[in-house]
Amino acid sequence: MENIKITTTLDTSGKCCPMPMVEANRAIKALAVGDVLEIVATDIATRTDIPSWCNRLGYTLLSLSEQDDVLRYYVRKDS
Amino acid sequence: MKSLAIVVRDDSYDKILTPLAFAYLTAAEGVQVDMLFVNWAVKALTADGAASLCIDGRHAVDEAKVREGVAKAGLPTDIYEVIKALKSTGNVNFYACSLAAAIFGVSQDNIISEASGIVGAAWFLNEKAAKADHYQYF
**Residue pair B20/B136 in contact by the 8 Å Cβ criterion:** no
Per-residue model confidence (pLDDT) at position B19:
98
- The architecture in CATH of the region A8-77 reads 2-Layer Sandwich (3.30)
Tens-digit pLDDT profile for residues B110-119: 999 999 999 9
**Residue contacts between A and B (CB atoms, under 8 Å):** 35
**Buried b or exposed e, range B78-95, using 16+ CB within 10 angstroms:** ebbebbebbbebebbbbb
pLDDT at A33 over 90: yes
Note whether A22 contacts B22, CB cutoff 8 Å: no
In angstroms, what separates the C-alpha of A64 from chain B's closest C-alpha?
Answer: 21
SS3 (DSSP) at A38:
strand
Q: Is B24 on the interface with A (CB under 8 A)?
A: yes
Partners of B30 on chain A (C-beta within 8 Å) are: 25
Question: Does residue A2 surpass a pLDDT of 70?
Answer: no
| pLDDT at site A1 | 61
Query: B3-137 has which CATH code?
Result: 3.40.1260.10
Looking at residue B122, its amino acid is A
Taking only the tens place, the pLDDT of each residue in B59-104 is 999 999 999 999 999 999 999 999 999 999 999 999 999 999 999 9
Which whole number is the average pLDDT over A25-31? Answer: 97
Average pLDDT in the B42-60 region?
Answer: 96
User: Can you give the pLDDT at residue B77?
Assistant: 96
Ordered by start, the domain boundaries in chain A are 8-77
For chain B, what are the domain ranges?
Answer: 3-137
